[in-house]
């Protein structure tokens, strides 16, 4: 296959369809679409294939069928070293047919080999970080040691490892012994297009998350109740899930499918109305909603841990509070709800912060510049040998 004058030819690999906005919470689709706009060509590759033989060997949990839901992939199968080897072999066979300059895979559950291409991966966190935080799908599996060993092998085979944060990069370097020069912090972009118009009427907290418990909804609701005692018109809007929260000031909106133009417009309108955005996850490697909120001019209230200090500037674009101090969470909400001028100023700073550091064009340029440099260095070495 002849390579045209495109800046870079990429194999875009992800567990599910790399161009589907549901894959990796939209990161995959936004990243690869921007890489195309920035001059790359992209050949998508879905790396997880569950065959009949896999199902017979325990790959799927069929119990969700009783609730009219699709079967789930079992964590015991997903995190098995043997599974990763088999899935990698299938992905490698597919990738070998592609004439590309680089293979860029989202995540590390496979290890795609290619006879000529640069090998790169992008990750939001390491398995070790997930286990330390008690992230369920890994830490509750008996395959933890296998998952760590597999990820280490993938990292060692890569020409470059992109991470969404300095926090993740430190773990790649310190926990897995990867040379710092092979690790590049690419960052991420907000998964919204243009910022919505600001139309704040009453002080409102916006929560967006598909899992109420895991995303810290109960702690936010408790803090809302405390703050509302002195700010009776304070509201809380809940998007993405449907918890039982039938009380004054709380509106449960539920899931909004971003692929539906009307639902997407409703989500943007909520960002436009919000005084603040709150997210207090048990574990979130790099929650894109924090970027979305700030891009929309909304200050953020979140826990001071993991990658949050990189995404949110405490006291400038929002407030970062200790997980162990629930009254500080309530105080941060009260501070923004009771002072609309301050909230507006912090929201403006939040937008500028994201616009200067966390947009997909910036991320794509970092990635393409890095891959260009590796390709040029290879060509220089080849010329010298010849």
What's the distance, CA 31 to chain centroid?
11
Over residues 294-298, mean pLDDT: 97
pLDDT, tens only, 131-141: 988 875 666 66
Over residues 238-262, mean pLDDT: 95
- Do residues 343 and 370 both lie within one domain? no
- Do residues 268 and 121 both lie within one domain? no
- Do residues 34 and 79 both lie within one domain? yes
Name which of 112, 108, 103 is nearest 125 in CA terms.
108
- Do residues 323 and 244 both lie within one domain? yes
pLDDT: which is higher, 141 or 105 = 105
Q: Are 293 and 271 in contact (CB under 8 A)?
A: yes
Residue 306 lies in a domain: yes
Please determine, for residue 4, whether its predicted confidence score (pLDDT) is greater than 50.
no
- Do residues 152 and 296 both lie within one domain? no
To the nearest 10°, report the CA torsion of 183, 120, 126, 351: 70
Over residues 181-188, mean pLDDT: 98
Please determine, for residue 278, whether its predicted confidence score (pLDDT) is greater than 60.
yes
Residue 3 lies in a domain: no
Residue 21 lies in a domain: yes
- Which of 130-144, 230-244, 321-335, 343-357 is predicted least confidently? 130-144
Q: To 5 degrees, how large is the angle CA 42–CA 295–CA 162?
A: 40
Q: Which CATH number is 42's domain given?
A: 3.40.50.2000
- Do residues 352 and 209 both lie within one domain? yes
> CB burial class (10 A; 0-12, 13-18, 19+) of residue 375?
middle
- Do residues 32 and 180 both lie within one domain? yes
Q: pLDDT category, 1, cuts 50, 70, 90? A: very low
- Do residues 372 and 352 both lie within one domain? no
Residue 199 lies in a domain: no
Please determine, for residue 358, whether its predicted confidence score (pLDDT) is greater than 80.
yes
The two three-digit tokens of residue 76, written as one number: 């015991």
- Do residues 12 and 156 both lie within one domain? yes
Work out how many domains the chain is built from and give that number.
2
- Do residues 148 and 252 both lie within one domain? no
Please determine, for residue 3, whether its predicted confidence score (pLDDT) is greater than 50.
no
- Do residues 351 and 365 both lie within one domain? no
Please determine, for residue 127, whether its predicted confidence score (pLDDT) is greater than 70.
yes
- Do residues 315 and 331 both lie within one domain? yes
The pLDDT mean for the chain works out to 93
Domain containing residue 338 = 204-357
Please determine, for residue 63, whether its predicted confidence score (pLDDT) is greater than 80.
yes
Over residues 294-299, mean pLDDT: 98
At 139 the pLDDT is 63
Which residues neighbour 28 within 8 Å (Cβ) at sequence distance 6 or greater? 12, 14, 16, 18, 19, 20, 106
Q: Are 326 and 342 in contact (CB under 8 A)?
A: no
DSSP per position, 31-77: HHHHHHHTTEEEEEEE-----HHHHHTT-EE-GGGGGT-PPEEPHHH
């Amino acid at each position: 296959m002849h390579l045209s004058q495109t800046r870079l030819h990429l194999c875009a690999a992800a567990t599910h369809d790399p161009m589907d906005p549901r894959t990796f919470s939209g990161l995959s689709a936004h990243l690869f679409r921007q890489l195309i706009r920035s001059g790359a060509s992209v050949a998508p590759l879905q790396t997880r294939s569950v065959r009949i033989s896999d199902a017979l060997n325990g790959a799927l949990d069929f119990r969700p069928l009783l609730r009219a839901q699709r079967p789930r992939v079992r964590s015991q199968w997903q995190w098995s070293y043997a599974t990763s080897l088999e899935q990698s072999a299938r992905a490698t066979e597919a990738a070998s047919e592609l004439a590309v300059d680089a293979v860029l895979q989202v995540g590390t559950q496979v290890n795609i080999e290619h006879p000529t291409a640069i090998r790169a991966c992008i990750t939001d966190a390491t398995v070790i970080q997930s286990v330390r935080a008690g992230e369920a799908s890994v830490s509750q599996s008996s395959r933890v040691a296998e998952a760590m060993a597999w990820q280490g092998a993938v990292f060692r085979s890569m020409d470059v490892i992109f991470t969404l944060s300095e926090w993740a990069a430190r773990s790649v370097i310190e926990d897995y012994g990867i040379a710092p020069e092979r690790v590049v912090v690419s960052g991420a972009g907000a998964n919204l297009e243009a910022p919505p118009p600001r139309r704040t009427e009453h002080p409102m907290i916006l929560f967006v998350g598909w899992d109420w418990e895991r995303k810290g909804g109960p702690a936010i609701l408790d803090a809302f109740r405390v703050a509302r005692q002195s700010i009776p018109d304070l509201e809380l809007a809940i998007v993405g899930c449907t918890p039982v929260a039938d009380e004054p000031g709380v509106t449960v909106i539920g899931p909004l499918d971003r692929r539906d133009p009307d639902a997407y417009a409703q989500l943007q309108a909520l960002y436009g109305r919000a005084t603040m955005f709150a997210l207090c996850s048990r574990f979130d490697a790099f929650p894109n909603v924090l970027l979305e909120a700030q891009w929309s001019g909304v200050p953020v209230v979140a826990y001071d841990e993991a990658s949050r200090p990189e995404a949110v500037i405490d006291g400038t674009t929002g407030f970062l509070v200790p997980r162990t101090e629930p009254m500080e969470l309530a105080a941060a909400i009260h501070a923004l709800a009771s002072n609309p001028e301050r909230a507006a100023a912090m929201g403006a700073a939040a937008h500028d912060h994201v616009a200067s550091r966390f947009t997909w064009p910036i991320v794509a340029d970092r990635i393409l510049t890095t891959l260009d440099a590796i390709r040029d260095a290879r060509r220089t070495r080849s010329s010298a040998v010849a």
